[in-house]
Amino acid sequence: MHRHDLILTPGLLWHDHGNETEQPMIWLDGLDIPLVQMLDGSFVEHREDRGAWPTTHPAGDAQLRWGRNLRPVHHGRKPGQANPLFIYPFAQWRESLEALRRSEVPHPHDAYLMEFTNPIDGGSVLATISAFARLVPADFATKPARSTDGMIHVVVEGSGSIKIDGGDFRLSSGTIVVTPSWSERVIEATQDLVLFSYSDRAAQQKLSIWRERLS
């Protein structure tokens, strides 16, 4: 993990957590547990010795095999199976936002918005969770928009504000804010504003209940 990386822990795969440095670290977990529990599909298994899960691939392996617009021909995976690309490095996705800015004008409702995708099928990073990176240029304000997915936003860089159903919330580095389902949102940047966001859009789209309204 590095600052602002997106790290996945897909369901039905062994994983553990650890800090190999001498400095404390904090990360934000975006979980689909409420949905899975509501569907009565939740369970957990632990190693008998409760020890760390052994490393089976060298560091960087997933990024090298899956994260360069390449994939193994005989990967044996089918759409819907766990995403094998476990890390989306901040250094790469931040650069992608700048590339988008250099070639396009900002979208009136979303500014510069990119979605993290699964290299197997181009779909959402997880079956139940969609994840996004957004750049709102300084002095730009998006037009009002609303959608059925509740979305969590983390401010990575910059400053500005977000209006949610008329309420005004200031944004600065490290701020976490939620736009509830079908609430109207307007994002305004005083400095270049970079947001990482995630929501249950992936699950809603599979159920054909996701909707969006752009004003």
Asked if the structure places residue 1 within a domain, the reply is: no
Q: What is the pLDDT of residue 135?
A: 98
Residue 126 to residue 138: CA distance in whole angstroms: 31
What tens digit of pLDDT does each residue of 88-134 get? 999 999 999 999 999 999 999 999 999 999 999 899 999 999 999 99
Averaged pLDDT, 42-55: 79
Asked if the structure places residue 93 within a domain, the reply is: yes
Residue 186 has a CB neighbour count (10 Å cut-off) of 17
Amino acid at residue number 21: T
Cα distances (angstroms) measured from residue 123 to each of 13, 47, 76, 92, 172: 19, 31, 17, 19, 30
Asked if the structure places residue 108 within a domain, the reply is: yes
Asked if the structure places residue 57 within a domain, the reply is: yes
pLDDT at 207 over 80: yes
pLDDT at 74 over 80: yes
Asked if the structure places residue 105 within a domain, the reply is: yes
CATH of residue 79: 2.60.120.10
What tens digit of pLDDT does each residue of 156-189 get? 999 999 999 999 999 999 999 999 999 999 999 9
Q: Which tokens go with 44?
A: 């957990």
Q: What is the pLDDT of residue 95?
A: 97
**Structurally, how many domains does the chain consist of?**
1
Asked if the structure places residue 103 within a domain, the reply is: yes
pLDDT at 140 over 90: yes
Helix (H) or strand (E) holding 145: strand 145-147
Q: Which domain holds residue 131?
A: 6-214
Q: Is 138 left (phi over 0), alpha (psi -120 to 50) or beta?
A: beta
Q: Does the pTM of the predicted model rise above 0.75? A: yes
Asked if the structure places residue 150 within a domain, the reply is: yes
Q: What is the pLDDT of residue 68?
A: 87
Asked if the structure places residue 149 within a domain, the reply is: yes
pLDDT at 50 over 80: no
Cβ atoms of 6 and 131 within 8 Å: the answer is: yes
